[in-house]
A and B are shown apart, each in its own frame.
Chain A
Amino acid sequence: MSHPHPHTHTHTHHHHTIDPDETLSETEAHEHHAHVTPFWPMLWVFVVLLVLTALTVWTSNIHGFWIGNTHIEFGATPHIIMALIIATVKAVLVAAYFMHLKYDRPMNTVVVGATIFGVVLFIGLTLADMHARSINDSVDMRKIVQGGDTHLGADGQRVRGMGVVARAEENARLKHANNPAHAGDAHTGADGAHSDAPAEKPAEPAKSAPGGH
């Protein structure tokens, strides 16, 4: 570096003579490199991000509201949706302004779009698969306890469990055996009713499983 390559000479001459002691103005810097990051828009984005952070905390504590005499309960799902909407707005602000996508060549945004497409496929297909196979509640992770997939045997010793897949099938079988309403439609019955009142119902048949052994 201390002995510049001869090419350096022609390179700098090609642009214009550099006076290194002169501070470049923003327009001059613009000529040399891409868009110069502006101060005030970035400050405003930062302030909006703080406000949105406070907003997401505030909305998480809303448990319901009144319309006239009717109280609308705010369950977990609306909270998740609100939190995800606010987080997405924040992420878009960070990507567009802080990460400069708004000012960049569009190819970087194409990469982001492809990534989001991959994430949506990944999570979306996983959830769709769980839904389609009605395993929303039939794998009972309760029995995967300390030490892995084991349960207490008759002598009080931990013995290896039957494995997650076999257990899922066993739980599904027990669930339908205990509930004649679902006996006919093994694959579609569970999840429609399940999504409204999730935790209590599936726990019942699951509990009986280890006792049966």
Chain B
Amino acid sequence: MTTAASTTRELLPHEAYVPGAHWRNAQDEAEAAKLGMWLFLGTEVLLFAGFFCAYAAFRLWYPDNWHDASRYYLNWKIGFANTVVLLLSSFTIVLAIRGAQTNRKWMTLWTLVITQACAAFFLIVKLGWEYAPKIAKGELPGANFSYDHAQGPYDHIFLSVYWISTATHGFHVFVGMVVIAWAMWKTLKDHYGPRHYTSLENIGLYWHLVDVIWIFLFPLLYLV
């Protein structure tokens, strides 16, 4: 086309990317988008802080029952497996961004595929090995608790905190899968390259946040 004299083919979308006219340059645009993403992540952290606050308050009230319920209702091996796949997925999405920065489209695409597989593993384990048996046995939050072999008088409160925090987190994993699928499509269509990968980077930030939340949820719910 007309963009550069030495060009022998049309420029790919990421090569032809031009920042909005109100930005000095592409880097300012990318940095501003990233700052906005961080502000959004701040609100996400405060959302989960509500659940951690409930955890702290109820744990202060019922320390022994809380500890017993954690050991009785949750299997640390499931939480551990899910922690490992989330950490792996965080690492692979870092490599996806590296792929875009160094103009390796297939590296970006395949690392996103692995990230997506990890997210799917997490949700399948969560729904199939935790939520489904819990629903079947009546290990449900608050007033819905109908499990026959309760270990203590406050089991339903522990399960309330467990369900609301893990379900909200699980929903974030699902949203992550949707936006990562969108990033895979953008990668296929050559929208990410060394000159432009802003949305991929922000999706990465979001995904790491989901990982960080789980890093706290796992020991607090499954281990201590």
Contacts and interface: CB of A to CB of B under 8 A. Distances in A.
Given A26-B102, A33-B197, A105-B31, A53 B83 contact: yes
A180 B153 CA distance: 27
> Chain A: interface secondary structure?
helix
B136 interface: no
A47 to B, nearest CB: 9
Contacts of A12: 3-4
A56 B223 CA distance: 8
Contacts of B102: 23-24, 26, 29, 36
B95 interface: yes
B39 A111 contact: yes
Interface of B: 1-9, 11-13, 15-16, 18, 21, 26-27, 30-31, 34-35, 38-39, 41-42, 45-46, 49-50, 52-53, 56-58, 60-65, 67, 76, 80, 83-84, 87-88, 90-91, 94-95, 97-98, 101-104, 143-146, 153-154, 156-157, 194-197, 201, 204-205, 208-209, 211-212, 215-216, 218-220, 223-224
Interface of A: 1, 4-5, 7-9, 11-13, 17-21, 23-24, 26, 28-29, 32-34, 36-39, 42-43, 45-46, 49-50, 53, 56-57, 60, 76, 79-80, 83-84, 86-87, 90-91, 94-95, 97-100, 104-105, 107-108, 111-112, 114-116, 118-119, 122-123, 126-127, 130, 136-137, 139, 141-142, 145-148, 198-199
Contacts of A111: 35, 38-39, 42
A137 B94 CA distance: 46
A46 B219 contact: no
Contacts of B219: 56, 60, 83-84, 86-87
B63 A199 contact: yes
A91 B216 contact: yes
Given A18-B15, A34-B31, A141-B61, A28 B194 contact: yes
A8 B83 contact: no
B205 to A, nearest CB: 6
A199 B60 contact: no
Contacts of B195: 32-33
Contacts of B224: 60, 76, 79-80, 83
